[in-house]
Amino acid sequence: MKENILTKATELFLEQGFKSVTMDDLANEMGISKKTIYAHFDNKTKLVQECTLELFHFIRGGIDEIIALKKNPIEELYEIKKFVMMHLKGEKSSPEYQLQKYYPETHIALKTKHFEMMQECVLDNVKRGINLGIYRENLNVDFVSRIYFSGVTSVKDQKLFPVSLFPISELMDVYLEYHLRGIVTPKGRKILNTIINSNQE
């Protein structure tokens, strides 16, 4: 039952936001009593913590599987972006904003894990790209990985990038292209242009 509650709660949180979904909503959606939910989770904060952790591990596992395919690094970043966007439902309810505002401790813990994961993935991605001659060899690898994380975090700030002007899926595409055009070689640019053109068809 605990796994079922986690799964349904995560789905609702992503669709409607962490603040918007109440324990009553969850109980009604599942056709169970609130008492059943509280038998597994002491309070909503605990439920939110476990949902975000579960989602993080799921996303991490999917990213690891994509990396294990050893695609070229440019294609790899697009595959990861597609996977994450699919499983975060395009973040249409801005759950991260609600998490930051109403569950700041959980948000900070998640952001730390996110940073550590992205550092590892992007550092590896950049190093492989340099070795393959598709990223410039004079890059400061640590700077590139950190500025990429910083950018991914910043574009989710709806005060800077309101959804009315920047739909999240398009925004992530634009940001990824912006990032890659700054680090690719002419050889890498050909690969990038091919991926962008095929995505637009």
**Each residue of 51-70: pLDDT tens digit?**
999 999 999 999 999 999 99
- Each residue's pLDDT tens digit, 134-182: 999 999 999 999 999 999 888 888 889 888 898 887 889 999 999 999 9
Question: Which range has the worst mean pLDDT, 6-15, 83-92, 168-177?
Answer: 83-92
Per the listing, tokens 């952790």 go with 53
Domain boundaries, the chain: 45-200
Q: How far apart are CA 73 and CA 127, in angstroms?
A: 9
Q: What is the pLDDT of residue 76?
A: 96
The pLDDT assigned to 85 comes to 85
Q: What is the pLDDT of residue 86?
A: 85
* Cα–Cα distance list, 154 to 38, 157, 159 (Å): 35, 5, 10
**Does residue 44 contact residue 102 with C-beta atoms inside 8 Å?**
no
Cβ atoms of residues 183 and 144 within 8 Å: yes
The CATH code of the domain at 45-200 is: 1.10.357.10
Question: What is the rounded CA–CA span in Å between residue 165 and residue 180?
Answer: 22
